[in-house]
Amino acid sequence: MKKTMSPTPASPRHLSCPPPASGGGVGEGVRPQTQSDIADFSEDYPRFTREMKDSYTILIPDMLPWHFELLIHVMAKEGYRLEALHNEGQEVIDEGLKHVHNDTCYPALCVIGQFLNALKSGKYDVDHTAVLITQSGGGCRASNYIPLIRKALRAEFPQVPVLSLNFAGLEKDSGIEVYPAFVLRLGYAIYYGDLIMSCYNQTKPYEIEAGSTDEVRERCIGEIKAAFDAGKHRKLKRNIYFILDAFAAVPVKREPKIKVGIVGEIYVKYSPFGNSHLEEFLLREGCEPVVPALMDFVLYCIINNVNDAKMYGKNRKSAFFFGIAYKYLYSIQKKILKWTARHGRFVPQHDFERLRTLADEVINQGVKMGEGWLIPAEMAALAETGAENIVCAQPFGCLPNHIAGKGAVRVIKGKYPSANIVPVDYDPSATKVNQENRIKLMLATARERMGE
């Protein structure tokens, strides 16, 4: 989330260069360079203008279904009509394959596949549809999703604008306008989503009456939406306790189950489409999935800016504001954790400051590309809180994951000898049987240990 040089406004493709120079040494026939002398190879793309807000449907990829339901609701209050996509299957993958370089990461392929498949479905008026993606602007190739989506759309839906939701000042001409109160609402939505996800996962495997946990989840989502409608989303304690009480009321049968933590690249970690419905698979296997909070990733992105200023003296002014934002958001997390602990029924999610401490023990917080140090930190935190069985989900060939995922497993195992970690690659061509067989091996080890 680095504050970066804002892109110059796009202009139509044109060649601003002299004709090929023949002969001569280097430099001969090459124009001297000035600031304005830039060869423009970029291609134009449609902007999302303010007027479009009212008439456009904005599609977003599938990632965290329940969080997204809340976020969509918050966005709707800002006048954006968002719709999360849930299309899956081979056609979606095929669309992705068609439009994305095969060596690009799987999430890009999934997201672009979903967009194109949806636009082709006939369900949307393609002249009044836009697509939206978040952008973090880090050193990982994932920051290039927007150009990749634009490139894919250009071939078949050149009129569809791509919106960026970012807090780094990127894509100013196609961004969602953000202001503090709005951002804060999004933050609350994530916190509520995280808690609902956590309580759900801690209840669902134990429910006596099938489906009762899902009902409660629906009810909680409804309640939080209503709170946003009534401007009561900041009544944190009330809302948190509502969720805790609601899930606590589900009749459950207490029996020991294997807890399986999920860490990894942000998209395949959460998206059921991306990780072949990993959570459901684990539930079917009789496990309790432990999925770390989305807010931890947000805090991770924020704190990296603060770290950058501290370590390299970068952008100290904006880092100051990031620091304030961090303190504020963390204070909310602190409260939620406190109340969850006090309530007593559910294991609280990770404390972000604790994650940072754990990170320092295994890797440097300077590893900030992709999910960076957050992955080993979460592995350590999971191992520490009784979820030592861990699936590290990563797209095939994910660069940051070489270092912070697979690369860190050995250190984690050294520190937590009981840690039982399986890295799983996700790829359009990787087979489910291959993935499941490896997870099953991890589970077999876990079961044996539980029996001991």
CA 312 vs CA 22, 138, 230, 304: distances in Å: 45, 16, 44, 11
C-alpha–C-alpha distance, residues 115 and 150, integer Å: 11
Q: What's the min distance (Å) between Cβ of 145 and other proteins?
A: 9
User: Of the candidates 12, 41, 122, 452, which one interacts with other proteins according to CB under 8 A?
Assistant: 41
C-alpha–C-alpha distance, residues 381 and 261, integer Å: 10
Residue 150 interacts with other proteins (CB under 8 A)? yes
Residue 192 has phi, psi (to 5 degrees) of -65, -40
Residue 440 interacts with other proteins (CB under 8 A)? yes
Q: Long-range contacts made by residues 320-328, C-beta under 8 angstroms, separation at least 24?
A: 322/1, 326/299, 326/302
Q: Which residues, 294 to 313, sit near other proteins by CB under 8 A?
A: 308, 311-313
Q: What's the min distance (Å) between Cβ of 379 and other proteins?
A: 12
Residue 49 has phi, psi (to 5 degrees) of -95, 165
C-alpha–C-alpha distance, residues 128 and 56, integer Å: 5
User: Of the candidates 4, 49, 55, 121, which one interacts with other proteins according to CB under 8 A?
Assistant: 4
Q: Long-range contacts made by residues 199-205, C-beta under 8 angstroms, separation at least 24?
A: 199/243, 199/244, 199/247, 199/346, 200/66, 200/247, 201/279, 201/288, 201/289, 201/290, 201/291, 202/247, 202/288, 202/346, 202/347, 203/247, 203/250, 203/252, 204/283, 205/257, 205/283, 205/286, 205/287, 205/288
Q: Which is nearer to other proteins, 42 or 385 (CB)?
A: 42
Note whether 54 and 38 are within 8 A (CB). Answer: no
Residue 287 interacts with other proteins (CB under 8 A)? no
Residue 348 interacts with other proteins (CB under 8 A)? no
Q: Which residues, 15 to 34, sit near other proteins by CB under 8 A?
A: 15-27, 29-31, 33
Q: What's the min distance (Å) between Cβ of 227 and other proteins?
A: 38
Contact string (CB under 8 A) for other proteins, positions 361-400, x = contact: -xxx-xxxxx-------------------------xxxxx
| Sheet-wide strand order for 389-395 | 287-290, 258-264, 389-395, 420-426
Q: Which residues, 420 to 439, sit near other proteins by CB under 8 A?
A: 423, 425, 427-438
Which helix (DSSP H) or strand (DSSP E) does residue 10 occupy? none
Q: Which is nearer to other proteins, 187 or 370 (CB)?
A: 370
Q: Which is nearer to other proteins, 96 or 292 (CB)?
A: 96
Residue 160 interacts with other proteins (CB under 8 A)? no
Q: Which is nearer to other proteins, 197 or 419 (CB)?
A: 419
Q: What's the min distance (Å) between Cβ of 357 and other proteins?
A: 18
Contact string (CB under 8 A) for other proteins, positions 119-148, x = contact: --------------------xxx-xx-xxx
Residue 97 interacts with other proteins (CB under 8 A)? yes
DSSP state of 405: T
Q: Which is nearer to other proteins, 97 or 236 (CB)?
A: 97
> Whose CA is closest to 362, among 403, 320, 311?
403
User: Of the candidates 58, 85, 152, 295, which one interacts with other proteins according to CB under 8 A?
Assistant: 152
User: Of the candidates 77, 101, 237, 327, which one interacts with other proteins according to CB under 8 A?
Assistant: 101
Token pair 């077999």 is at which residue? 444
Residue 172 interacts with other proteins (CB under 8 A)? no
DSSP state of 209: S
Residue 231 interacts with other proteins (CB under 8 A)? no
Q: What's the min distance (Å) between Cβ of 440 and other proteins?
A: 5
Q: Which residues, 181 to 200, sit near other proteins by CB under 8 A?
A: none
Q: For the CA atoms of the chain, what is the radius of gyration?
A: 23
Q: Which is nearer to other proteins, 348 or 407 (CB)?
A: 407
Specify the amino acid at residue 20: P
Q: What's the min distance (Å) between Cβ of 208 and other proteins?
A: 24
Residue 55 interacts with other proteins (CB under 8 A)? no
Residue 162 interacts with other proteins (CB under 8 A)? no
Q: What's the min distance (Å) between Cβ of 437 and other proteins?
A: 5
User: Of the candidates 103, 122, 211, 256, which one interacts with other proteins according to CB under 8 A?
Assistant: 103
Q: Which is nearer to other proteins, 57 or 315 (CB)?
A: 315
Note whether 309 and 366 are within 8 A (CB). Answer: no
